[in-house]
Structure 1
Amino acid sequence: MTATPPQPYSPSAPRAQRQRRPARDVPPPGPRPPGRAGRQVPPGSRHALRDTLALVVAVPLVAVLALPAAFAGGGTRRWFGGRSESQRAEAQAAKDAAAAAFYELDTAQRDLRISIETIAAVDDTPAARRALTDFEALGRRIDEVSHQYIQAVDAHDLDRDDLEASAAARARAELTRAKDELDNVKRELDRFADGLGPLLGKAETQLARLAPAVERARQGLLAASNALDAVRASGLKADDLAARLAALAPELTKLNQGAGQHGVPQTLERAERVAREAEGVRVEAARLPERAAEIDHRLVSLRTRAQALTTRAGQVEPVLSELRRRFTAACWQDLQNVPDGAAENVRQAELKLKEAQAARDDQRWPDATALLSTVRALLNTTDESVSAAGERLRRLNAVQKEPQQEIDRTRFAIRDAQRLAMAGRNTPDPRHARPLDDSVARLERAIGTLEGRHPDYWHFLTETEAVRRTVAGVVAQIREERGGSAH
């Protein structure tokens, strides 16, 4: 008997002859979550299928019709029809949707973790600490729903040959619930991320300032070092500036160690402080030659002034002699010690000038500057006291010759204040009228002291000055009150 040649494959062939349908596996955009891989047909089953096809060719038709029943349990997939395949497809779609939701949640969590780490590195306020705590709580919630999703995936093998419609329906329901939970937590995570805006913006601003601040500090230290080298090259020592610059070396070491070791806020503050102090050293170093020249000029000027005051102090004694001869003791007693005081002040000033010169020679610039300030104060005091004696004699001569001029000047001030107090009023305010009336009486008493054989001209002058000060105070009070009411 001639053997029948093998027939080509056709859809109407028995199900045992069809190739097994590949398992559906649509991975999400990222790493595929854990699940069961599609099972393969055992090697023994593939050999049985090949032998069966050979028998189909060799045996009569009646035997062929009996083959499906004989191979129903031979390891091939059972064929359930349209309903089972529809449920399987729906379950697979639910699985794919859940996988996508899982991937989106994982990506969002990883992105948000970067933001949280940024805030934690910069901000230590209660709000930042609360955000970290809330993120940890969200992380635990994410772990919980992720575990539920993985359990749902592992519990159902959608590629199983004998998957029943009911099992596929249960798989779809559980995977749908897992996706809904993943979506809910994703929405919570999004809301939390939206609330981090102010904290994250503040942290990013500080981080953006960090690198430029550190670089400014380094450049500032370099500029200060270069300026100091230039000053030393000109012959100036600048030891105090060198000590200040050396004190910044440990701070530079900490800056080089970075914010990871010392914290962003602390590093930022340190960089700004180092830059500020280095700039101060640089400015003073650049100004040091000018400062040295200024100190030299002040030494010469103050030395000349001290010599001039020595000459003027010698002229005080003749002035005092004339005051004693022509006026009462009350007019000159307070000037008795002016000659001795002036001489002592000049002597002290000359000693301080020598010390300042020595400090300048040693290039102790702060000491030299302080000593020169002391010299200037001593000479100012001496100048005032020496000038006071001559001014006293001049004023006493003027009032002795024409006291009426002082009287008229004071009366004019009182009348001018009285007119201002009455402006726009029928009666003056007692707060203004009383001190003005007292001033009138005080002036009359002062005029009375000019009578007699030895008038006290100095008392008269001090009284008229006091009256004018009182009147000026009343005028200022009136103008202030009326200016305030106008507003």
Structure 2
Amino acid sequence: MTATPAQPYSPSEPRVPRVSRAVPPPPPRTRVRGASGPLRDVLALVGLPLVAALALPAAFAGGGTRRWFGGRAENQRAEAQAAKDAAAAAFYELDTAQRDLRISVETINAVDSSPAARRAVSDFEALGRRIDEASHQYIEAVDAHDLDRDDLEASAASRARAELTAAKEELGRVRQELDRFADGLGPLLGKAETQLARLAPAVERARQALLAASESLDTARGSGLKADDLAARLAVLSPELTRLNQGAGQHGVPQTLERAERVTREAEAIRVEAERLPERAAEIDHRLVSLRTRAQALTTRSEQVEPVLSELRRRFTAACWQDLQHVPDSAAENVARAEDRLAEARRAREEQRWADATALLSTVRALLNTTDEAVSAAGDRLRRLNAVQKDPEREIERTRFAIRDAQRLAMAGRNTPEPRHARPLDDAVARLDRAVAGLEGRHPDYWHFLTETEEVRTAVGRVVSRIREERGGAAH
């Protein structure tokens, strides 16, 4: 079989795919393939003598595929290819920078609703339109020129190089605008990232607080306490946990942070109350016993008020005891009301209505305090009247000492006192003299005398306080 002569290699390289935004990486430079047959086979087929073959362009020496063009055309092709590679790199870098910056802008938009944040989002959208325009210019330049055509003319390669270079420069200018915009986002981005950094820990704290509250509630119930009110409060928080689990993407970062903090506070309060339930129950039991004992003691003491009033009526004028006439009846009524409230508090304790039991016990305590004061007032009145009847001079001297002490303070460092200080002190002296004069006679009103001297001392005390405040302010 006669050997078939080798056929000349006809390069048919695949074209570079059209550039699009979905394929940002720069395309690789096309590799030039070598000749497929020996040089003598090529010479035989084209019918050229050896000397003519030696005069062919040197493209054959390197295994190049473009055999019929050389010199200037190939140089223009190479420059155009270099411009295309540079433009592709600029396009890829701009696209990458835009995608990275979009993450930052979306972060700010999700966290910050301030006018500055809204303006940043708007500016980024405008930059996006500029980027689209520059990208469209680049893609059109790439699609308009097939640099891998065998018959590419030098003028076409030159135009391709110029258009691709212009596209690259425009991409570079837009990239600079994008970089300046990114630099200005620093404060807003820092604030947003701070809030985002708080988000996950805040949500986790809320979950842990709810879990702790639930466990404390289970422990309390395990000890025989119902804690229905705490269980109802915890149930209200369940929808909030669902919203937290749905995430900030659905509800917003600020709202999620606020919800997480509120859930944490309320769950923590439930946990504390659940843990205190056994202690609270014991405290209510103790108060029930204590207040019951106190009510019984006041019942006994109130029975002693009537003998005290009888002695007051027998030894002193009506003005000394008339205001105490209601004490026995009031004391009995208050103690009866206190015992009724105690019975209600005991039922609330048995039903584990802790708030009701606590409120009722507070009412009982207030009733007993009022009764205690009234019962004590009767005995205290008799004691003071006995003392002043026996020695009125002691009360008089006590009041005069207070007046003289105030007069010395008013005169300290002065030849004459200030009228605003001297006048009330003079009135106090006159008032004391009238009270002393009222003790004369067969049936003096000792209670009026005691209340007058007490009011005189109070008025003198106000003058002393005013003098010290004025002098203290002048010293500063």
TM bucket, shorter chain: 0.7 to 0.9
| Distance of aligned partners of 1:129 and 1:55 in 2 relative to their CA distance in 1, 3 Å threshold | closer
Matched, 1:337 2:287: no
- 1:218 corresponds to which of 199, 204, 207: 207
- 2:417 corresponds to which of 428, 434, 441: 428
- Aligned match of 2:79: 90
Contact 1:345 1:379 in 2 (8 A): yes
| Distance of aligned partners of 1:485 and 1:98 in 2 relative to their CA distance in 1, 3 Å threshold | farther
Distance in 1 between residues matched to 2:462 and 2:217, nearest whole Å? 55
Secondary structure of the residue that 1:209 maps to in structure 2?
Answer: helix
Deviates more, 1:255-264 or 1:395-404: 255-264
RMSD, aligned α-carbons = 3.4
Matched, 1:312 2:296: no
Contact 2:83 2:165 in 1 (8 A): yes
Distance in 2 between residues matched to 1:67 and 1:416, nearest whole Å? 133
Matched, 1:205 2:182: no
Letter in 1 for 2:93: E
Instruction: String of CA shifts for 1:339-398, please: whole Å, max 9, x gaps.
Output: 111110011011111111111111111111111100000000000001111111111111
Instruction: String of CA shifts for 1:312-341, please: whole Å, max 9, x gaps.
Output: 111111111111111111111111111111
Letter in 1 for 2:419: P
Q: Give the C-alpha shift of residue 38 in structure 1.
A: 6.7
Q: Give the C-alpha shift of residue 199 in structure 1.
A: 2.1
Count of residue pairs the alignment pairs up: 458
Contact 2:428 2:459 in 1 (8 A): yes
- 1:472 corresponds to which of 457, 461, 473: 461
Deviates more, 1:119-128 or 1:30-39: 30-39
Secondary structure of the residue that 2:265 maps to in structure 1?
Answer: helix
Contact 1:87 1:169 in 2 (8 A): yes
Letter in 2 for 1:338: V
| Distance of aligned partners of 1:91 and 1:341 in 2 relative to their CA distance in 1, 3 Å threshold | same
- 2:184 corresponds to which of 186, 189, 195: 195
Q: Given the two structures, how large is their TM-score scaled by the length of structure 1?
A: 0.84
| Distance of aligned partners of 1:308 and 1:76 in 2 relative to their CA distance in 1, 3 Å threshold | closer
Matched, 1:241 2:230: yes
- Aligned match of 1:300: 289
Distance in 1 between residues matched to 2:138 and 2:54, nearest whole Å? 47
- Aligned match of 2:401: 412
Q: Give the C-alpha shift of residue 63 in structure 1.
A: 9.1
Q: Give the C-alpha shift of residue 64 in structure 1.
A: 7.7
Structure 1 unpaired stretches of 5+? 1-5, 7-16, 69-74
Contact 1:33 1:150 in 2 (8 A): no
Distance in 1 between residues matched to 2:449 and 2:24, nearest whole Å? 109
Distance in 1 between residues matched to 2:108 and 2:52, nearest whole Å? 78
Matched, 1:346 2:339: no
Contact 1:24 1:92 in 2 (8 A): no
Distance in 1 between residues matched to 2:119 and 2:55, nearest whole Å? 75
Distance in 1 between residues matched to 2:232 and 2:50, nearest whole Å? 111
Q: Give the C-alpha shift of residue 22 in structure 1.
A: 8.5
Secondary structure of the residue that 1:377 maps to in structure 2?
Answer: helix
Deviates more, 1:178-187 or 1:286-295: 178-187
Contact 1:314 1:339 in 2 (8 A): yes
Letter in 1 for 2:104: S
Letter in 2 for 1:321: S
Q: How do 1:125-140 residues align onto structure 2 when only pairs under 5 Å count? A: 125-140=114-129
Q: How do 1:116-131 residues align onto structure 2 when only pairs under 5 Å count? A: 116-131=105-120
Instruction: String of CA shifts for 1:165-196, please: whole Å, max 9, x gaps.
Output: 44444433333322222122112211221222
Letter in 2 for 1:315: Q
Matched, 1:391 2:391: no
Contact 2:203 2:260 in 1 (8 A): yes
Contact 2:309 2:324 in 1 (8 A): yes
Letter in 2 for 1:275: T
- Aligned match of 2:146: 157
Letter in 2 for 1:365: W
Secondary structure of the residue that 2:84 maps to in structure 1?
Answer: helix
Letter in 1 for 2:44: A
Q: Give the C-alpha shift of residue 306 in structure 1.
A: 0.6
Distance in 1 between residues matched to 2:418 and 2:128, nearest whole Å? 79
Secondary structure of the residue that 1:124 maps to in structure 2?
Answer: coil
- Aligned match of 2:62: none
Distance in 2 between residues matched to 1:147 and 1:389, nearest whole Å? 102
Contact 1:153 1:175 in 2 (8 A): yes
Q: Give the C-alpha shift of residue 299 in structure 1.
A: 0.7
Distance in 2 between residues matched to 1:363 and 1:80, nearest whole Å? 103
Contact 1:34 1:150 in 2 (8 A): no
Letter in 1 for 2:456: V
| Distance of aligned partners of 1:60 and 1:397 in 2 relative to their CA distance in 1, 3 Å threshold | closer
Contact 1:35 1:150 in 2 (8 A): no
Structure 2 unpaired stretches of 5+? 58-64
Contact 2:43 2:50 in 1 (8 A): no
Matched, 1:281 2:270: yes
Q: How do 1:439-454 residues align onto structure 2 when only pairs under 5 Å count? A: 439-454=428-443
Matched, 1:175 2:164: yes
Letter in 1 for 2:258: E
Q: How do 1:356-375 residues align onto structure 2 when only pairs under 5 Å count? A: 356-375=345-364
Contact 1:77 1:162 in 2 (8 A): no
Letter in 1 for 2:179: D
Matched, 1:458 2:447: yes
- Aligned match of 1:107: 96
Q: Given the two structures, how large is their TM-score scaled by the length of structure 2?
A: 0.86
Instruction: String of CA shifts for 1:274-327, please: whole Å, max 9, x gaps.
Output: 222222122111111111111111111111111111111111111111111111
- Aligned match of 1:11: none
- Aligned match of 1:145: 134
- Aligned match of 1:380: 369
Contact 1:306 1:349 in 2 (8 A): yes
Matched, 1:53 2:43: yes
Instruction: String of CA shifts for 1:197-217, please: whole Å, max 9, x gaps.
Output: 222222222222222222222
- 2:241 corresponds to which of 237, 247, 252: 252
Contact 1:34 1:154 in 2 (8 A): no
Distance in 2 between residues matched to 1:337 and 1:396, nearest whole Å? 19
Contact 2:24 2:91 in 1 (8 A): no
Q: Give the C-alpha shift of residue 219 in structure 1.
A: 2.1
- 1:481 corresponds to which of 446, 449, 470: 470
Q: Give the C-alpha shift of residue 161 in structure 1.
A: 4.2
Q: Give the C-alpha shift of residue 451 in structure 1.
A: 1.7
